């Protein structure tokens, strides 16, 4: 195999880190208005169904918004187990026999024959199954009480934001999946002199993944389904302002950062590509610009599709309430045209 995936990514990160911040810091962050296109909640997700989704058509995530531990469940569209051989039985030949057994009153025999010839699985169990890419876990050292919590997804920008106050300091997270750059970008910033202290891990259900940590980088590689499925690769680049990063075995530790950013890329060999090389290319393309420029680029590309249609059913006067509370009111009979439009 050509140049090592891991070494190349690490070197690329060092070279391109300067480039990523060379874009003008004063670039305007997109400003969004109109609460009717926003889902928002006043607590982190309790389970997967409550997490907020983002995706670019290929690479997606479910963001939980935890304050002690953030979970970002990752998906890539082409992670599949082995392709099973389809058993093409001609079940039509059994239909007359099933009918005759029914006419004769032999119902149990008719059922058994129908199940065997018409209803049994025609693919081996566990084959042709989609799998998750994995979980990016961010565990925070400060377990102090949280106030002013707000977790939101704006439908007009496909942008997740999490805001909260802890130990008197304000924190903001932003997450989006860029189709233009084929990357998920996560950023957290601390205000009022606050610091970010955490450790970051990348995991996958099951066994067989090879995960490496070092030099502000996490890489993962695996042959799915013990080598019978696709080969996947994933890279996570960590960029901080202030503070320090340490690699300790199965994690990256961040101490005292004012800002923390993660660039997440992934690929498989489903379509014949070399996934490690594809990850290198996507990460390199991502690091060509800073967060603000990448967000602006993402929003412009996304709104080219989103703005083709507008639904306005009238105001509701309930946008000050979390979305789950609005839904509860609708279940009790309240009319909420804004929620219906969402």
Q: Which residues of 268-302 are buried (b: 16+ CB within 10 A; e: fewer)?
A: bbbeebebbbbbbebbbbbbebbbbbbbeebbebb
Instruction: Name the token pair of 38.
Output: 């926003």
Give the pLDDT confidence score for residue 32 in this predicted structure.
52
Closest CA to 13 of 279, 232, 243, 251: 279
Give the pLDDT confidence score for residue 8 in this predicted structure.
42
The SS3 call for residue 236 is: strand
Which residue is associated with the tokens 């890539």?
76
Instruction: Name the token pair of 258.
Output: 């004012």
Task: State phi, psi for 131 to the nearest 5 degrees.
Answer: -130, 155
The residue extents of the domains of the chain are 5-23+35-80+134-310
Q: What is this structure's pTM?
A: 0.80
Give the pLDDT confidence score for residue 63 in this predicted structure.
99
Provide the β-strand partners of residue 219: 212, 235
Digit-coded pLDDT (tens) for 222-237 = 988 777 788 999 999 9
**Are residues 155 and 210 in contact, defined by beta-carbon separation less than 8 angstroms?**
no
H-helix or E-strand spanning residue 321: none
**Are residues 233 and 268 in contact, defined by beta-carbon separation less than 8 angstroms?**
yes
Closest CA to 65 of 322, 338, 330: 322
Give the pLDDT confidence score for residue 229 in this predicted structure.
85
Instruction: Name the token pair of 45.
Output: 């997700």
CATH class of 5-23+35-80+134-310: mainly beta
Digit-coded pLDDT (tens) for 101-160 = 999 999 999 999 988 888 766 555 555 788 999 999 999 998 899 999 999 999 999 999
Q: Give the span between the Cα atoms of 140 and 70, in whole angstroms.
A: 8
Q: What is the mean pLDDT of the chain?
A: 86
Residues 6+ positions from 182 with CB-CB distance below 8 Å: 56, 58, 59, 265, 282, 285, 286
Residues lower than pLDDT 50 in the chain: 1-27, 31
Q: Give the span between the Cα atoms of 132 and 79, in whole angstroms.
A: 7
Q: Give the span between the Cα atoms of 154 and 342, in whole angstroms.
A: 10
Provide the β-strand partners of residue 161: 152, 174
Q: Give the span between the Cα atoms of 270 and 220, in whole angstroms.
A: 17
Outline where 47-94 has alpha helix (H).
none
Instruction: Name the token pair of 311.
Output: 């639904």
Longest CA span, the chain: 84
Digit-coded pLDDT (tens) for 26-47 = 445 554 555 578 999 999 999 9
Instruction: Name the token pair of 242.
Output: 């202030």
Outline where the chain has alpha helix (H).
5-20, 95-103, 107-114, 275-286, 291-306, 323-331, 337-341
**Are residues 232 and 5 in contact, defined by beta-carbon separation less than 8 angstroms?**
no
Q: Please spell the DSSP secondary structure of 185-207, one letter per residue.
A: EEEEEE-TT--EEEEEEEE-SSS
């Amino acid at each position: 195999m050509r140049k090592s995936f891991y070494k190349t990514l690490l070197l690329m990160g060092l070279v391109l880190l300067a480039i990523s911040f060379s874009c003008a810091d004063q670039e305007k962050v997109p400003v969004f208005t109109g609460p009717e296109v926003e889902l928002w909640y006043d607590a982190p997700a309790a389970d997967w169904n409550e997490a907020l989704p983002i995706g670019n058509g290929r690479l997606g995530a479910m963001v939980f918004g935890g304050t002690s531990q953030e979970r970002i469940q990752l998906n890539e569209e082409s992670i599949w187990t082995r392709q099973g051989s389809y058993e093409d039985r001609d079940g039509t030949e059994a239909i007359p026999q099933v009918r005759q057994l029914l006419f004769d009153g032999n119902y149990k025999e008719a059922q058994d024959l129908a199940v065997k010839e018409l209803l049994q699985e025609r693919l081996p169990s566990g084959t042709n199954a989609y799998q998750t890419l994995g979980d990016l876990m961010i565990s925070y050292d400060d377990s102090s009480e949280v106030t002013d919590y707000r977790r939101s997804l704006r439908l007009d920008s496909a942008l997740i934001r999490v805001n909260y106050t802890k130990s008197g300091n304000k924190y903001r997270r932003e997450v989006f999946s860029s189709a233009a750059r084929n990357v998920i970008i996560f950023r957290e910033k601390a205000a009022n002199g606050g610091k970010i202290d955490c450790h970051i891990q990348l995991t996958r259900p099951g066994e067989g993944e090879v995960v490496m940590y070092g030099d502000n980088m996490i890489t993962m590689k695996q042959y799915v389904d013990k080598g019978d499925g696709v080969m996947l690769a994933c890279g996570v680049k960590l960029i901080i302002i202030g503070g320090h990063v340490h690699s300790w075995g199965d994690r990256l530790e961040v101490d005292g950062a004012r800002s923390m950013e993660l660039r997440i890329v992934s690929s498989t060999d489903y379509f014949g590509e070399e996934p490690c090389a594809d990850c290198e290319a996507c990460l390199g393309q991502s690091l060509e610009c800073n967060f603000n420029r990448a967000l602006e680029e993402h929003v412009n590309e996304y709104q080219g599709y989103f703005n083709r249609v507008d639904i306005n059913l009238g105001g509701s006067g309930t946008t000050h309430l979390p979305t789950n509370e609005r839904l509860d009111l609708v279940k009790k009979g309240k009319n909420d045209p804004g929620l219906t439009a969402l």
